[in-house]
C-alpha cells in the first residue's frame, strides 16, 4: 500500500489557477495538435476548483477533493481532460500524480 503522503498537495497552491485555467490549459496544449473544446475547459476548470476546495454547489463551498470523476459521453475527450487536469495539478503543486 502506498503512503498517503504520496497523494498530498497544498490545495491553496491551486487557488490562483482555479480562477481561470484557460491560459494554463492553452499553454499546456500548445506543444501538441490538441485544442480544448469549450466544454472541456469548463470540466477541467471544475475539476481544479474541486481539488482547490473552492467549488460552489447549492450555495455551499465544498471541501477540497482528493479525487474527481469525469463523467462525459463517449469520444468527448475524457482521457485528455483527465490527463490535462493531472498535468496542471503536477505542474502547479508538484504533486505526484499516479
The 8-class DSSP code of residue 37 comes to -
In a domain, 24, yes or no: yes
Residue 83 burial (10 A CB sphere; 0-12, 13-18, 19+): middle
**How does pLDDT run across 77-89, given as a tens digit for each residue?**
999 899 889 988 8
In a domain, 2, yes or no: no
Range of the domain at 87: 10-93
- Distance of alpha carbon 2 from alpha carbon 15, whole angstroms: 27
**How does pLDDT run across 27-53, given as a tens digit for each residue?**
777 777 778 888 998 899 899 889 888
* Number of separate domains in the chain: 1
In a domain, 19, yes or no: yes
In a domain, 31, yes or no: yes
In a domain, 4, yes or no: no
In a domain, 52, yes or no: yes
Q: How confident is the model at residue 2 (pLDDT cuts 50, 70, 90)?
A: very low
In a domain, 76, yes or no: yes
From 97, 25, 91, 35, select the one nearest 67 (Cα to Cα). 97
Amino acid at each position: 500500500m502506498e503512503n498517503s503522503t504520496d497523494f498530498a498537495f497544498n490545495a491553496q497552491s491551486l487557488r490562483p489557477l482555479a480562477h481561470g485555467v484557460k491560459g494554463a490549459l492553452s499553454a499546456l496544449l500548445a506543444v501538441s495538435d490538441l485544442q480544448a473544446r469549450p466544454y472541456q475547459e469548463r470540466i477541467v476548470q471544475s475539476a481544479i476548483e474541486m481539488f482547490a476546495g473552492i467549488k460552489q454547489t447549492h450555495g455551499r463551498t465544498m471541501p477540497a477533493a482528493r479525487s474527481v470523476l469525469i463523467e462525459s459521453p463517449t469520444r468527448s475527450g475524457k482521457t485528455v481532460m483527465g490527463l490535462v487536469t493531472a498535468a496542471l495539478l503536477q505542474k502547479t503543486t508538484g504533486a505526484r500524480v499516479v
